């Protein structure tokens, strides 16, 4: 019996605005964190170097426009979905926004 796809990155529901899409990856706002996130189009935690570089380039381009160059950190820790590569660009205030500290 084939397992149904339950990976939300593979399902790629367009719940939030998408900033970029190509054959390798897409960049959208993370629904949970409200920061840009790049997602690989393959379900695997370990992209080859060229794909990794491609994805981080697109993530940084989006994040540079959003936060300004150097105003954010690329976070490659995959807490929620450890078996599918994705990375966040987090500005210093994302945690406050996330938990309602900013009014
Ligand atoms: Zn996946
Ligand atoms: Zn997130």
pLDDT given for residue 95 in this prediction:
86
- Nearest-angstrom CA–CA distance, 10 and 26: 11
- What is the Å distance from ligand 2's center to 81 Cα? 10
Instruction: Determine the pLDDT at residue 3.
Output: 58
Q: pLDDT band at 88, cuts 50/70/90?
A: very high
Instruction: Identify the CATH assignment for 8-98 out of 3.40.220.10, 3.30.428.10, 3.40.50.300, 3.40.50.720.
Output: 3.30.428.10
Q: Are 96 and 102 in contact (CB under 8 A)?
A: yes
What is the whole-number distance in angstroms between the Cα of residue 1 and the centre of ligand 2? Answer: 32
Closest ligand, as measured to the CA of 98: 2
Given pLDDT bands bounded at 50, 70 and 90, which one contains residue 1? Answer: low
Report the percentage of the chain scoring pLDDT > 70: 89
Check: CB of residue 56 under 8 Å from CB of residue 47.
Answer: no
Q: What is the pLDDT of residues 41-74, one digit of tens each?
A: 999 999 999 999 999 999 999 999 999 999 999 9
Closest ligand to C-alpha of residue 87 is: 2
Q: How far is the CA of 94 from the centre of ligand 2 (A)?
A: 10
Q: How far does CA 98 lie from the centroid of its chain?
A: 16
Identify the residue with better confidence: 67 or 13.
Answer: 67
């Amino acid at each position: 019996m084939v397992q149904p796809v339950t990976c939300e990155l593979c399902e790629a529901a367009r719940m939030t605005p998408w900033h970029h899409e190509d054959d390798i990856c897409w960049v959208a706002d993370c629904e949970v964190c409200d920061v840009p996130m790049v997602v690989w189009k393959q379900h695997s935690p370990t992209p080859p170097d060229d794909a990794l570089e491609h994805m981080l380039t697109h993530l940084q381009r989006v994040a540079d426009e959003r936060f300004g160059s150097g105003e954010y950190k690329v976070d490659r820790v995959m807490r929620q979905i450890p078996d599918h590569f994705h990375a966040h660009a987090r500005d210093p205030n994302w945690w406050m926004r996330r938990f309602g500290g900013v009014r």
